[in-house]
Amino acid sequence: MDELAMDRANWSGNLLHLDFNTKKPTEQRYEVTLAIPRIVSPGIHPTAAAVYIDEIDVFIKSHQGKSCHRSYPCLFDKSELANQNNSINSFVLMELRVKRVKRIEQEIDTSIKQEINISNILPEAVFSNIVSWLPVKEAVRTSILTKRWKHAWKYVTRLDLDPESISKSNVKLVRRDSQNGKKFTPTRRSRADLERCTRSYTSIIRSIQDEVTYCQIVHFPNDINCGDLEKWVEELFMKKKVKALSLKCYEKPTPDREYFVKPLVLRPGIFSPLEFLELTCYRLFNTSPFQSCEKLRILKLSSLVLDTKSITEIFSLCKSLEELSMVDCYGFSELKISSRNIKFLELRCLDIDNINISAEALTTLTVDKISCKWSSVVIDAPRVTEVQAYSNVEGVCQELREMYLCQEKLLERCTGFLSCHERSHPLYSPQMGYVSVFRNLQSLSTSLDLNDIRHAILLSYVFRVCFQLKKLDINVEVRDPCKVGNLYYPEHLFWEKKESFDCISNCLRAVSIQNFRGKVLEMEFVRYVITRAQSMHQVTVRCAADCTAEELTATRNLLSFPKSSMDISVVIVPPSPTAG
């Protein structure tokens, strides 16, 4: 059998979907998708933690649209499949989907094993990839299903070292109550029990016989003090050739985390072999571990305490960064990013004074809940094609909301809505005036109040300057209802009087609106879109969860509006009956 390489893996419900293809070129090249059930058996003896597959349904589809479907009791080889269909060379996509799964809650004797014959269902290469996506404890349990797979867990390509998944399952204790009788209360794992689990990390790492592509290590502060964390990382780099690493300190949040979060102390240059690095819950004032990190392409920082100097040094040492994510980081006052390589940037839950971003290759920008004065934000990213701008401040009082860089402030700043007359602005040109940062924008996801005339004006300006906008996703966020505009005509006529911008006439393909209530300005905006956008394919309107019957009736009137094209589909999603 050809060697298999995994392209993609993701969980869907309780099934793990894995995409494979053959590394070696063959006459018949296949893409195989396996839907494998999650094997979870807390409190069950390892030999009883078994599943077996009764039947596998095979769906084959060709590029020409032809398809066929057959059921097999176990995995088949290529020759068998070819006998079933003489034109197999034209079929390139196979989907093997597990239909029925049963868990055995008893000891598995030899006769049952022979009847199941599970070793014939999946080849070892596929099985090793599957168990790589399981926690260590479940991977070991799964490997004992058959002698053939006894040591398969030692060849996993992904390693998840988490004391929560390695420790013993909770044991239910009986607590007697004089009034209510017996009550079963599950015990909680103590911190001491979890800390003992990390002591097995060394033996687990040394047991792995193959190279590991990704490893996650969840540890405790003492593991840094005694040098264990550095030993684990060194072992992974030297012998397992790890290229992707995630480190997380098991530390509960405290009121003043800056003084309680553990400093990350590792030898200089220890991260140099990595292409992917994720750090969570540390104090990071010593940047020497980032020395010689020319290979690092993806960096994710979460719940870190670090100063402005440390951030600047990290960016200067990691010159090949293509993706950067900073979530809930604090301790610094200025964020300055100047890079020719960064393509993806995510900034969430930051409290800083200044933001200055210069990234000529940046294509995707995500901003959410940033506390920063909007006039101190400068973004120069001419190639941005996708923006997600939110400010998740629901339930926050108006005074505190003003502290955050709301999404409308970001849009006002980057589209030139407020900056077009500021000659001192870095993006102002005497010949061209203010050049919009989002002039190449193709996809915009944001929260706006479509019933606020100021937001309506801002949205129209987005249409004016974003010539290539194809996809628009708006979550209607109700703001202060007392705001009024200074229009010389009634507000409900705003969209009716607006001209058809090039973006609306030629580019816009899809619009999605959430939290819709059928208010006047909302309705007029949708009318404007479906009557002016000649290239539109679909408008999706999702009603608010607490939408009233009157609001739902008003929303359904959208279906009677005239359309600029017969190809436009208007979809109205009513609130769920169980919502609220």
Q: What is the pLDDT of residues 341-396, one digit of tens each?
A: 999 999 999 988 899 999 999 999 999 988 887 778 888 998 999 999 887 655 55
The yes-or-no verdict on residue 163 having pLDDT over 80 is yes
pLDDT in the model for residue 189: 64
What single-letter DSSP state applies at residue 452?
S
Half-sphere exposure of 465 (CA within 13 A, CB side): 22
- Separation of alpha carbons 397 and 479, rounded Å: 11
174: DSSP letter = E
CA-CA distance, 393 to 388, in Å (whole number)? 15
Across the chain, what does the average pLDDT equal?
73
Distance CA 433, CA 419 (A): 10
| Residue owning tokens 């290469």 | 125
Q: Which of 62, 92, 120 is the last residue of a domain?
A: 120
What tokens were used for 276?
Answer: 């992917």
Number of alpha carbons in the 13 Å side-chain half-sphere of residue 108: 23
Q: CA angle at residue 344 from 538 to 13, to 5 degrees?
A: 60
What ranges make up the beta strands (E) of 3-149? 4-12, 15-22, 31-37, 50-53, 56-62, 67-72, 91-98, 101-104
CA distance 348 to 370: 6
Q: Which of 35-49, 105-119, 218-232 has the lowest mean pLDDT?
A: 35-49
Whether residue 297 is contained in a domain is answered as no
**What pLDDT digit, counting tens, does each position of 242-293 carry?**
999 999 998 754 545 555 567 888 999 999 999 999 999 999 989 999 999 9
Coil/strand/helix, residue 439? coil
pLDDT at 47 over 50: no
User: In the numeric block, which tokens belong to residue 463?
Assistant: 């249409």
Average pLDDT estimate for 494-505: 91
Cα separation, 87 vs 61, whole angstroms: 12
50-64, 135-149, 170-184 — most confident range: 135-149
Please indicate, yes or no, if residue 495 is contained in any of the structural domains: yes
How far is Cα 437 from Cα 191, in angstroms, rounded to an integer? Answer: 49
Q: Is residue 563 situated within a structural domain? A: yes
Tokens of 407: 């999404």
Q: Is the pLDDT of residue 511 over 90?
A: yes
539/444 Cα distance (integer angstroms): 15
User: What mean pLDDT comes out for the span 544-558?
Assistant: 93
475-484 pLDDT per residue, tens = 998 766 545 5
- Cα torsion 203, 206, 208, 210 to 10°: value is 170
Are 400 and 393 in contact by the 8 Å Cβ rule? The answer is yes
Rounded to whole angstroms, how far apart are CA atoms 212 and 123?
20
pLDDT, position 110: 43
Cα 405–Cα 411–Cα 414 angle in degrees, nearest 5: 105
Q: What is the pLDDT of residue 86?
A: 34
Residue 392, pLDDT score: 61
Single out the residue in 68, 94, 120 at which a domain terminates. 120
> Which residues, other chains included, contact 402 with Cβ-Cβ below 8 Å and sequence gap of 6+?
none
Q: Judge contact between 262 and 284, C-beta under 8 A.
A: no
- Structural contact between residues 525 and 497, judged by C-beta atoms closer than 8 angstroms: no
Bigger pLDDT: 170 or 548? Answer: 548
The one-character DSSP state at 323 is E
Across the range 190-201, mean pLDDT stands at 79
Confirm if 226 and 199 have CB atoms less than 8 A apart. Answer: no
pLDDT score at 334: 92
The torsion of the CA quartet 158, 162, 166, 169, rounded to 10 degrees, works out to -130
**Count of C-beta atoms within a 10 Å radius of residue 289:** 22
d(CA 54, CA 531): 54
Calculate mean pLDDT across residues 288-300: 96
- Mapping DSSP to helix (H, G, I), strand (E, B) and coil, where does residue 168 land? coil
How many residues are listed for the chain in this entry?
580
Lowest mean pLDDT among 245-254, 392-401, 500-509: 392-401
| 3-class secondary structure, 34 | strand
Tokens of 207: 């047991």
CB 285 within 8 A of CB 332: no
- 447 belongs to a structural domain: yes
CA proximity to 208, closest of 119, 140, 123: 140
Distance CA 241, CA 236 (A): 6
Distances (CA, A) of 574 to 346, 451, 474, 475, 558: 32, 20, 17, 15, 13
Out of 120, 155, 181, a domain closes at 120
Decide which of 174 and 223 is more confident.
223
Per-residue model confidence as pLDDT tens digits over 515-539: 999 999 999 999 999 999 999 999 9
Q: Is residue 288 part of a domain?
A: no
Residue 405: pLDDT band with limits 50, 70, 90: low
Whether the CB-CB separation of 311 and 289 falls below 8 Å is answered with no
* In a domain? residue 249: no
Tell me: pLDDT of 544 over 70: yes
Helical axes 407-415 vs 453-465, angle rounded to 10°: 40
Which helix (DSSP H) or strand (DSSP E) does residue 262 occupy?
A: none
What are the contacts of 388-394 at 24+ separation with CB within 8 A? 388/364, 388/445, 388/446, 389/365, 389/444, 389/445, 389/446, 389/447, 390/445, 390/446, 390/447, 390/475, 391/447, 392/368, 393/369, 394/477
Question: What percent of the chain is modeled with pLDDT above 90?
Answer: 38
Looking at residue 94, what is its pLDDT? Answer: 33
In a domain, 246, yes or no: no
Q: How confident is the model at residue 192, as a pLDDT?
A: 76
Task: Please report whether residue 564 resides in a domain.
Answer: yes
Calpha distance 295→385 (Å, rounded): 26
| pTM, entire model | 0.71
355 or 141: whose pLDDT is higher? 355
% of the chain beyond a pLDDT of 70: 60
Using alpha carbons only, give the angle 38, 44, 48 rounded to the nearest 5 degrees: 80
Query: Which domain does 97 fall in, by range?
Result: 4-120
pLDDT at 78: 35
pLDDT at 502 over 60: yes
Question: For the chain, what is the domain count?
Answer: 2
Please tell me which of 63-72, 260-269, 566-575 the model is most confident about, judged by mean pLDDT.
566-575
Please choose, from the candidates 208, 235, 209, 231, the residue with its C-alpha nearest in 3D space to the C-alpha of residue 219: 231
Higher pLDDT, 404 or 444: 444
User: How many angstroms separate the most distant Cα atoms in the chain?
Assistant: 86
Element housing 363 (H / E) = none
